[in-house]
């Protein structure tokens, strides 16, 4: 499962955990994700910057985000969820307490 629009990275895990998971990605996936997200580029702009076909960049981002989520989920499974990741596995937040 990919990161959802309503699920920002700081909500998903600490930035240090994300940086660690990013560092563990294969370079082709990491390059496409970093180029797209940190530079704020569209996938077409990223493809042009990397000199790759648009479909290749789209695929690398998709698969890279899948690997990233799996790495963060595995970290949570081994270490227990961080304060910001304590939500059900299906990704929805638990109901607010009243």
Which of the four pLDDT bands, split at 50, 70 and 90, describes residue 19?
confident
Across 46-56, average pLDDT: 96
> What six digits make up the tokens of 43?
């996938």
> Is there a domain that residue 95 lies in?
no
For residue 65, the enclosing domain spans 9-85
Residues 6+ apart with CB under 8 A from 65: 2, 3, 33
Give a yes or no: residue 21 inside a domain. yes
Sole residue written with tokens 């960049």: 57
Question: Which CATH number covers residue 36?
Answer: 1.10.10.10
Mean per-residue pLDDT of the chain: 78
Is residue 44 predicted with pLDDT exceeding 80?
yes
**In-domain check, residue 2:** no
In this prediction, residues 37-41 reach a mean pLDDT of 88
């Amino acid at each position: 499962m990919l990161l959802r629009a309503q699920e920002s990275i700081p909500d998903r895990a600490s930035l240090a955990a994300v940086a660690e998971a990013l560092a563990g990605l294969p370079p082709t996936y990491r390059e496409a994700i970093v180029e797209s997200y940190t530079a704020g580029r569209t996938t077409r702009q990223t493809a042009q910057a990397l000199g790759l076909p648009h479909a290749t960049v789209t695929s690398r981002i998709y698969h890279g985000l899948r690997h990233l989520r799996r790495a963060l989920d595995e970290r949570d499974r081994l270490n227990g969820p961080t304060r910001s990741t304590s939500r059900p596995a299906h990704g929805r937040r638990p109901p607010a307490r009243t």
